[in-house]
Amino acid sequence: MPTFGTLSTPVGVISVVSDRTAIVRVGWRAPAPADADASPDPLLAEALAQLTAYFAGALTVFDLPIDLGVQTDATRAVLTALHETVGYGKPVTYGELAERSGTAVPARGIGSIMGANPLPIIVPCHRVVAGDGLGGYSGGNPGEGLATKRWLLELEGALPTSLF
């Protein structure tokens, strides 16, 4: 049975779902799974602790087992390349991630995969940017996707802090 927890962050309330062996979902405004178990889950507690440390600027690498769920081979390759090769504060372009993934997915397709990422923050889709700017971002509170992406990149030192 999955377990569910939430964390209040500077970019909104984040929900985390664990199946007790891996983190299977991270998202904004996500409701608890209907079959969520309320009993203690050390993995969920660790995930929430690591996310808290990340948002405090004290954690740069997540050390959690993850499960991307059912994905196409190309999507899994792209998300795995993102998770394993794109470090804290080191954004890459959509095209660079396509190349790292070893797939034939075009840059525009990489953007679609980022939007479907089941584990944002932990699998850092906010670090994937356009060649000429931030690109898009579907995380964060409604209507605040790009502001959320900018905030996360500023936290990681990848962008100068906004003046306003």
**Residues annotated as catalytic (active site), given as ranges:** 125
Neighbour count for residue 65 (Cβ, 10 Å): 13
Number of Cβ within 10 Å of residue 61's Cβ equals 8
Note the helical H segments in the chain. Answer: 42-55, 73-85, 94-101, 107-115, 145-155
- Give the Cβ contact number of residue 26 at 10 Å: 22
Q: Which residue has the tokens 């377990």?
A: 3
- Whole-number Å distance between alpha carbons of 69 and 148: 25
Which sign does the torsion angle of CA 75, 79, 80, 86 carry? positive
Asked if 44 and 3 count as a contact pair (C-beta separation under 8 A), the reply is yes
Question: What is the chain's length?
Answer: 164
